[in-house]
Amino acid sequence: MAANDKPREECAVFGVNVTVPEAAGIAYNGLLALQHRGQEGAGIAAVCSNRIVCRKGVGLVSEVFSGERLGEFAHSNVAVGHARYSTTGGNTPENVGPFVTEYLTGRIVIAHNGNVTNALELREWLMDKGLRFYATSDSEVVSALCAYMITKERGTVRGIIAAAGMMRGAFSLVAASGKNKLIAVRDGTGFRPLCIGRNASGYAVASESCAFDACGFELAGDVLPGEVVVIENGEITRREVALAGNEPGHGFCIFEYVYFSRPDSIINGLSVYKARYNMGLALAREYPVRADVVCGVPDSGLDAACGYSAESGIPQAAGFVKNRYIGRSFIYPTQTERDSAVRLKLNPLLENIGGKRVVLVDDSIVRGTTIEKIVKSLKNAGAVEVHMRVSSPPFYHPCHYGTDIDSEENLIATKMGIGEIARAIGADSLGYISIDGMRAACAGCSLPFCTACFTGNRGLSRPRKEVLEQEAI
């Protein structure tokens, strides 16, 4: 589990095809805007004079790419970028995307967001065909599969469509070939987001629309579930294909609205900020309480706290000052320092909480260890009561489609009832939003939702290895 006790999502992808020779720089800016989706590694591959140049490494986008390194992408009109958080494969340079794979007549570059649940079967199947692998991530498998199927189908788009038809799980893909062609694919469920942007010089695709704002593009819509989008020579074509993943009860990951996405993004037609604000409204209706102030846990609880305040009439105030300059590699040498590490990032604002009854709003409770320290810090700072409100239901089930909620043993809600959790974290009361309340808050989304981590209802299939040959025909 993530050190800060939040679910972590796999990656960010970005692709651009423009008439100006600045694609790599645009991809860099796009990845900076998407850095929240992955901080372990970053990479950019650009088509430069019909050859693909790829540079990547471990670290933040700004750490991997200096101005000098960006200069290696001279005169590029097509580029693909990737920011990684590892849920499949370790945090090593070999596992950072995008992946470039050679085939008989060219090269293909692939950036992938999601989790392909039959990656191991596909890897073994491809190894039987003579392919070699150098990393341990499912993204390398996706790239190799696409390259193999391009050769088999004798066409880039046909090959990628055939490869997508063999994959199961969650995948939003951005691909480029050495012929100034950008291709975007979203799985048949639409589990992870993939948006389309447009400006006078061309098109871009990204995990979230906030990347377009940073690059001078306007949101033009979403890649639909089971859709293949091809951008070439300033033209965009959209083709719906038959991809797996349309099982009842599954759809877009609702946790994108709860936590993963930036609040200034619009995904599937719904503002992320509006969804979170609506969750706060629902929480106040479902779990009212007498209190003096509403405080959100920075940053993911702030928008729901706005909604809770508006509905309840309880004023909202900043409860914490956040230190934004503690690096990812900050070291806590002793157990005591590790236990108080939250205080280094979130320091209670005594002026707003001392002697007051506080409604504390956050997006989720996974293990409970971090929120326990936050509640304790408020009471140590003088809060007379702390009433915890959570804008997602309790986590009861692991997720296999691109987050690191990997085991029920790590989920506090599987071990304790709500009253027990409240006592364990030191809260005077605890209320989680209901499934119905969360769904209603996200009613503006154009797709059905996946809520399997809350309900256990999942339908994405894992095909047996022996059926792969049939699917490849």
For 390, how many CA atoms within 13 A lie in the half-sphere containing its CB? 23
Compute the C-alpha angle 145/147/148, nearest 5°.
65
Q: For residue 276, give the CATH number of its domain.
A: 3.40.50.2020
Cα-based distances in Å from 237 to 227, 230, 233: 10, 5, 11
* Predicted TM-score (pTM) of this structure: 0.89
Is residue 458 domain-resident?
no
Is residue 382 domain-resident?
yes
> 239 and 279, same structural domain?
no
Q: For residue 206, give the CATH number of its domain.
A: 3.60.20.10
> 238 and 352, same structural domain?
no
> 92 and 21, same structural domain?
yes
Mean pLDDT, consecutive 10-residue segments, the chain of 473 residues? 52 95 95 92 90 90 84 88 72 80 87 90 91 84 93 93 91 89 94 96 97 97 95 91 58 93 96 98 98 95 98 97 66 53 82 97 92 94 97 88 68 93 97 96 92 73 36 33
Per-residue pLDDT, 337: 57
Task: Determine the Cα–Cα distance for residues 327 and 274; give it in Å rounded to an integer.
Answer: 30
Do residues 207 and 272 make contact, with C-beta atoms less than 8 angstroms apart?
no
CA 389 to chain centre: 23
Per-residue pLDDT, 250: 65
> 338 and 276, same structural domain?
yes
Per-residue pLDDT, 418: 95
Is residue 2 domain-resident?
no
> 218 and 109, same structural domain?
yes
> 287 and 243, same structural domain?
no
Range of the domain at 281: 271-323+331-451
> 277 and 240, same structural domain?
no
> 336 and 221, same structural domain?
no
Looking only at the bridges linking them, the beta strands covering 293-296 and 357-362 are parallel
- Core vs surface per residue 80-105: b (16+ CB within 10 A) or e: bbbbbbbbbbeeeebbbbbbbbebee
String of DSSP letters for 273-287: HHHHHHHHHHHHHHS
Per-residue pLDDT, 460: 40
> 203 and 126, same structural domain?
yes
Is residue 457 domain-resident?
no
Q: What is the CA radius of gyration of the chain?
A: 23
Task: Determine the Cα–Cα distance for residues 83 and 91; give it in Å rounded to an integer.
Answer: 12
Is residue 4 domain-resident?
no
Number of domains in the chain: 2
> 313 and 216, same structural domain?
no
> 172 and 283, same structural domain?
no
> 386 and 243, same structural domain?
no
Do residues 435 and 442 make contact, with C-beta atoms less than 8 angstroms apart?
no
Does residue 11 have an active-site annotation? Answer: yes
Is residue 255 domain-resident?
no
> Residue type at 99?
F
Q: Which residues contact 126 (CB under 8 A, 6 or more apart)?
A: 133, 141, 144, 145, 148
Is residue 266 domain-resident?
no
User: Which of the following is catalytic: 11, 210, 445, 450?
Assistant: 11
Task: Determine the Cα–Cα distance for residues 436 and 441; give it in Å rounded to an integer.
Answer: 9
209: helix, strand or coil: coil
Query: How many residues does this entry show for the chain?
Result: 473
Per-residue pLDDT, 130: 85
- Number of C-beta neighbours around residue 442 at 10 A: 22
Is residue 259 domain-resident?
no
